[in-house]
């Protein structure tokens, strides 16, 4: 009896430590405009934040640059994406704003829309020229990794349809599928995300979908090592759980 309790506590400790290790290195620390920034914005940034399409058209018509940046290197289009101002984003893209501009944290509007679970903005970004294969963030992620991390299933499907790279490995040693498996909570969205990424094109030497647990856990250490070798780099973190 005591041995069983001890063993269960040891297993729980491994899960908790692993969860903290992975969650503590979350790489989607996007910085939307603060309340103070919104108060001091002027020109296109202010118009984008308010969703004022007429003012956007007037200002650009008078010569204001559509890719002007604030102190955090956000363009008006970044501001529109953060604040879900779809009309403003559409107008800015039509009038010359770059769909692939990066802010100070190296996020583009496609990754912002992915984290926000904003499918309408994501589609606007793709139609406006956003690159689904772009590498973003300080950890060299992709929009697909960001969406898989959050369990945003429809975003994941849209990005896969746009030819997002399924096997890209970020600086923390994670693919989109690994994000969904390890950081998912076993809920319906993360399970569907695992299925969407796994069924699209399973990475070489990775176990099939049946090998992944539905609850928060991980696949075997050897499987991860083999997957890392197949991608040409070794994962920085190894998280195993005895269940």
Q: Would you give the end-to-end CA distance of the chain in angstroms?
A: 17
pLDDT in the model for residue 190: 57
As given in the structure block, the two tokens for residue 237 are 């973190």
Question: Which is it for the CA torsion 142, 145, 150, 154, positive or negative?
Answer: positive
pLDDT in the model for residue 181: 82
CATH class of 29-131: mainly alpha
Half-sphere exposure at residue 220, Cβ-oriented, CA atoms within 13 angstroms: 8
The torsion of the CA quartet 169, 82, 183, 20, rounded to 10 degrees, works out to: 100
Question: What is the CATH T-level fold of the domain 136-243, as seen in this structure?
Answer: 1.25.40
pLDDT in the model for residue 29: 76
Report which of 191, 132, 202 is spatially closest to residue 160, judged by C-alpha positions: 132
What does the domain layout of the chain look like in residue ranges? 29-131, 136-243
* pLDDT tens-digit map of 196-205: 666 555 444 4
As given in the structure block, the two tokens for residue 198 are 């796994």
- Establish whether domains 29-131 and 136-243 are of one fold: yes
* pLDDT tens-digit map of 43-90: 999 999 999 999 999 999 999 999 999 999 999 999 999 999 999 999
pLDDT in the model for residue 10: 40
| Torsion angles phi and psi, residue 136, rounded to 5 | -130, 175
* pLDDT tens-digit map of 119-135: 999 999 999 999 999 99
Contact (Cβ atoms closer than 8 angstroms) between residue 189 and residue 230: no
Contact (Cβ atoms closer than 8 angstroms) between residue 107 and residue 137: yes
pLDDT confidence band for 14 (50 / 70 / 90): very low
């Amino acid at each position: 009896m005591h041995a069983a309790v001890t063993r269960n506590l040891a297993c729980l400790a491994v899960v908790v430590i692993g969860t903290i290790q992975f969650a503590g290195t979350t790489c989607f620390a996007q910085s939307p405009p603060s309340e103070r920034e919104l108060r001091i914005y002027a020109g296109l940034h202010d118009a984008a934040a308010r969703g004022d399409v007429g003012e956007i058209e007037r200002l650009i018509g008078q010569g204001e640059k559509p890719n002007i940046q604030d102190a955090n290197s956000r363009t008006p289009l970044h501001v529109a994406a953060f604040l879900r101002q779809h009309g403003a984003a559409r107008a800015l893209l039509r009038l010359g704003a770059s769909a692939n501009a990066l802010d100070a944290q190296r996020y583009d509007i496609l990754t912002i829309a992915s984290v926000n679970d904003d499918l309408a903005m994501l589609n606007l970004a793709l139609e406006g020229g956003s690159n689904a294969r772009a590498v973003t963030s300080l950890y060299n992620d992709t929009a697909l990794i960001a969406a898989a991390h959050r369990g945003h299933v429809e975003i994941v499907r849209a990005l896969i349809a746009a030819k997002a790279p399924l096997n890209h490995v970020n600086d923390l040693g994670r693919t989109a599928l690994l994000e969904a498996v390890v950081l998912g909570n076993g809920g319906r969205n993360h399970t569907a995300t695992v299925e969407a990424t796994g069924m699209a094109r399973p990475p070489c030497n990775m176990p099939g979908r049946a090998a992944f647990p539905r609850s928060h856990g991980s696949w075997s250490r050897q499987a991860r090592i083999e997957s890392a070798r197949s991608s040409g780099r070794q994962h920085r973190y190894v998280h195993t759980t005895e269940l």
